[in-house]
């Protein structure tokens, strides 16, 4: 494991307050981004059957965590690594139209992850996907989308600072 804590590191918040702050940030950002991009929250699967082909095996070397289901004739299932394929399937299944989409919160276990300050075996990953038609696949649409995402970040930052004891400087690079 390559975890490194900087010498003399002092967190701005205690452990409990950090958890509360993360939840508030995440909740507001989800709300702001969903509003900006016309997204609806949907629940993501924790595991899938291998034969569905929905468990994106990322670069092809990850070994999924798997187990059998007692109540499904011993069917084998795998903990998801990525929702890339599942999100595209879900867009159709939920009936999303052009310029609409979904967001979800994926929880996964990546047993072959190399651990360091930003990589963990446990993954709590927020993700989104939209339905586009060919006419939307151009740089202007991409730029507009990036601006909307940035707007969601700014709204989140403003709301968080207004509702907590942090100063504007807490978010500046050190």
Q: Which fold has domain 17-166?
A: BirA Bifunctional Protein; domain 2 (3.30.930)
Whole-model pTM? Answer: 0.82
β-sheet with 101-109: strand ranges across: 39-41, 101-109, 122-130
User: Hey, which residues does 102 pair with through a beta bridge?
Assistant: 40, 129
CA 93, CA 86: separation in Å to the nearest integer?
A: 10
Query: Reading across the β-sheet that carries 47-48, which strands appear in turn?
Result: 47-48, 76-79, 66-68
Report residue 10 CA to chain centroid gap: 27
pLDDT at 3 over 90: no
3-class DSSP state for residue 122?
A: strand
Helix (H, G, I), strand (E, B) or coil at 41: strand
**Which of 35-49, 91-105, 112-126, 127-141 is predicted with the least confidence, judged by mean pLDDT?**
112-126
Q: What is the pLDDT of residues 39-92, one digit of tens each?
A: 999 999 999 999 998 987 767 778 889 999 988 888 999 999 889 999 999 999
Domain ranges of the chain: 17-166
**Distance between CA atoms of residues 165 and 161, nearest Å:** 7
């Amino acid at each position: 494991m390559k975890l490194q804590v900087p010498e003399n590191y002092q967190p701005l918040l205690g452990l409990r307050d950090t958890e509360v702050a993360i939840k508030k940030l995440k909740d507001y950002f989800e709300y702001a981004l969903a509003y900006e991009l016309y997204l609806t929250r949907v629940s993501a699967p924790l595991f899938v059957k291998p034969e569905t082909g929905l468990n994106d095996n990322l670069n092809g070397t990850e070994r999924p965590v798997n187990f059998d289901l007692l109540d499904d004739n011993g069917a084998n299932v795998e903990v998801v690594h990525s929702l890339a394929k599942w999100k595209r399937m879900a867009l159709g299944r939920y009936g999303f139209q052009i310029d609409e989409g979904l967001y979800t919160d994926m929880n996964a276990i990546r047993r072959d992850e190399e651990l360091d300050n930003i990589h963990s075996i446990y993954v709590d990953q927020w993700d989104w996907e939209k339905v586009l038609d060919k006419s939307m696949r151009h740089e202007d649409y991409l730029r507009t989308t990036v601006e909307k995402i940035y707007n969601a970040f700014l709204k989140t930052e403003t709301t968080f600072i207004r509702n907590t004891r942090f100063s504007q400087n807490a978010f500046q690079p050190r």
